[in-house]
Structure 1
Amino acid sequence: MTSTAIITDNAPDASFLFLPRTGLEVVFARGHGSGNGAVALVDLLWPQRIRGVVRAGLSCWERPALIADAELLVTELVTNALRHGRGDVGVRLSFVNGHLRIEVRDGSPEVPEPQAASSLDEGGRGLFLVEAIADDWGISDDGFITWCALYLHDAP
């Protein structure tokens, strides 16, 4: 049987699905005001919450070597989803073909592209970080999911 649970009391519109040895999935409703290049005050804690979920999942799966990179990658992808997407945000971690795959669904068919950020810009480097850290990354054909993958060095 698969269970769903609320992440925190402060996040009543979130569901968490943990699948032992397979992966996990989190879906949460964005607050009003996120999108169109902005993240609403009510949504500022989501990247931190999702990092905690990723850390817990990878700890349970005995994959501590992936935690730091996975936390950074999911932070960048979730922040981009909040800033540029619409509707609910979904995060999925799964083990596929010797990789940890991180997928973030943002509810928008607009294809994200790396931006050229100047040294004075506060943002605009997220996809460059994803490209630098992940072993692979891409966007689904319909544009709704941005994904990245980390190689499992000890995979059979």
Structure 2
Amino acid sequence: MFQRAYFVCEDNPLDLVRARTWLKQHPGCSIDLELIVTELLTNGMIHGFGLQVIQIHHIKNGLKFTIISNNPPFDIAPQCTSLKESGNGLVIVETLLDSFSLRIDPRGNSVLTGIYRHTEKFNK
């Protein structure tokens, strides 16, 4: 199992492809993890601008995600009010993660943190 991963993504869909490819190549990175990363980076590309940095750290019995972006602050309260295909990314992410929080750092960057513990691979 990897100890940490670090990706820098711009508004280039190939950055998302590289992050997903990396996750697929590492034991313990499930489809859920791939979906979490995909949703968070896609949201940043669609609703934000500029660089996004995703850090994934192995912690006891799970993974900690930190996504730092220079996107404006956003509401992480569930917005799922219809069956439409778009607009449910953060609801999906929040459902898959054990904890989910957002803060604004001193430079005005959005910093989203999540903990994922849904895999038996981390218990070894």
From 118, 127, 130, give the equivalent of 2:82.
118
Between the two proteins, what is the percent identity of the paired residues? 25
The alpha carbon displacement at 1:88 in A equals 0.8
Note if contact 2:10-2:45 (Cα within 8 Å) is conserved in structure 1.
no
| Cα gap change, 1:97 to 1:141, in 2 (>3 Å) | farther
Q: What are structure 2's unaligned runs of at least 5 residues?
A: none
The alpha carbon displacement at 1:126 in A equals 0.6
Q: TM-score, normalised to structure 2's length?
A: 0.77
From 21, 29, 48, give the equivalent of 2:17.
48
- Tell me which structure has the larger Cα radius of gyration: 1
Inter-partner Cα distance in structure 2 for 1:76 and 1:117: 18
From 45, 49, 54, give the equivalent of 1:86.
49
Larger relative contact order (CA 8 Å, sep ≥ 6):
2
Coordinate RMSD, CA, aligned = 2.3
Inter-partner Cα distance in structure 2 for 1:118 and 1:97: 37
Note if contact 1:81-1:104 (Cα within 8 Å) is conserved in structure 2.
no
**Secondary structure of the structure 2 residue equivalent to 1:131:** helix
Q: What are structure 1's unaligned runs of at least 5 residues?
A: 1-19, 31-42
Partner of 1:155: 123
The alpha carbon displacement at 1:122 in A equals 2.9
Q: TM-score, normalised to structure 1's length?
A: 0.63
| Corresponding position: 1:27 with 2:13 | no
